[in-house]
Amino acid sequence: MRNMTASRTLSIEYPILQAGVPWVSNPELVASVSDSGGLGILHPSAGMDLDGDMVGNLRENIRNIRRLTGNPFGVSFYLANPQVEQLIEVGIEEGMKVAVTYSGSPALYTGKLKENDVKVLHQVSTVRHARGAESQGVDAIIAEGYEGGGIRGPEEIPNLPLLPQVADAVSIPIIASGGIMDARGYAAALALGAHGVQLGTRFVATHECIAHPKYKEAIVGAIDTGTVIAGRYHRPTRVLRSDAALRLKDSNPPAGADMSGHWEAELGPAQVRAALLEGDPAGIAYCGAGVGLVSEILSVDEVMRGLVEGVSGIIASLR
């Protein structure tokens, strides 16, 4: 029943989402996930130069996806992006059917998106934000625990306590995100009250993703302690363990420093792009805490089959 609720809402076969990872959630990856029965999610920055035209890049990438698949796909929108209104306009113009919004108030654009027949999924990390998003009319919640890769909420709530509390608090479908890498994580999320799952790192380590081979190899080579929280005191960000990440693990900007500028210099887009697209070991590589479970680079279809068949087997074994 939980699987069916999310699948019907998003018009997909399986309630499995591929997270829109900055720079590397490219059209081929998105289309492959959607063709395998899940929901591929495009990031507006996918494949572009650091100083590129994000609005134009998004338009071109959506058109590429539509040439590759006729199945539903989504686009992720960082609500603090100064160009977010233009990006959303492009998504609507190009016929996207699902929008994932995060790092901002769902009150900003949910109404406009829904007026244009776009399903809205808002990403949250607390019960309060989940309730707020539901009250603003979003179609589903992505509840992301502290295990997830990339920028984290300051509350540091992991999935085990977060998901059942969100499930008790809202009546709309819940997608679990953060550290999920295989069918066991999928099954656990369902048991905790989720209706589906979103995976980022696991889909980065696929043949279809344009992430740099060194980034994929680092994911495959990582163990259970393979991630750290960098910038904990000003912008907590879960990344692959590296010399650069460890240097930033407990970094604290000096008194009076420009917090935004400090974050930009240490953990901003340039450092992330360098790691994800260029394989620069001095860059900052987003990665979920379950990375030790990723042991090989697979095709998207293999990842999807492992999740779908695996969760069915787990559920059957518990009966």
What confidence score (pLDDT) does residue 239 get?
A: 97
pLDDT at 1 (0 to 100)? 42
pTM, 2 dp: 0.95
Q: What is the pLDDT of residue 3?
A: 55
Q: Of the CATH numbers 3.20.20.70, 1.20.120.420, 3.30.565.10, 3.40.50.2300, which one belongs to the domain with range 2-210+296-317? A: 3.20.20.70
Domain residue extents for the chain: 2-210+296-317, 213-276
Low-confidence ranges of the chain (pLDDT < 70): 1-4, 251-263
HEC string for the chain: CHHHHHHHHHCCCCCEEECCCCCCCCHHHHHHHHHCCCEEEECCCCCCCCCCCHHHHHHHHHHHHHHHCCCCEEEEEECCCCCHHHHHHHHHHCCCCEEEEECCCCCCCHHHHHHCCCEEEEEECCHHHHHHHHHCCCCEEEEECCCCCEECCCCCCCHHHHHHHHHHHCCCCEEEECCCCCHHHHHHHHHCCCCEEEECHHHHCECCCCCCHHHHHHHHHCCCCCEEEECCCCCCEEEECCHHHHHHCCCCCCCCCCHHHHHHHHHCHHHHHHHHCCCCCCCCCECCCCHHHCCCCECHHHHHHHHHHHHHHHHHHCC
pLDDT in tens, 30-87: 999 999 999 999 999 999 999 999 999 999 999 999 999 999 999 999 999 999 999 9
Q: What pLDDT, on a 0 to 100 scale, did the predictor assign at position 150?
A: 96
pLDDT score of 271: 95
- pLDDT, residue 2, reads 47
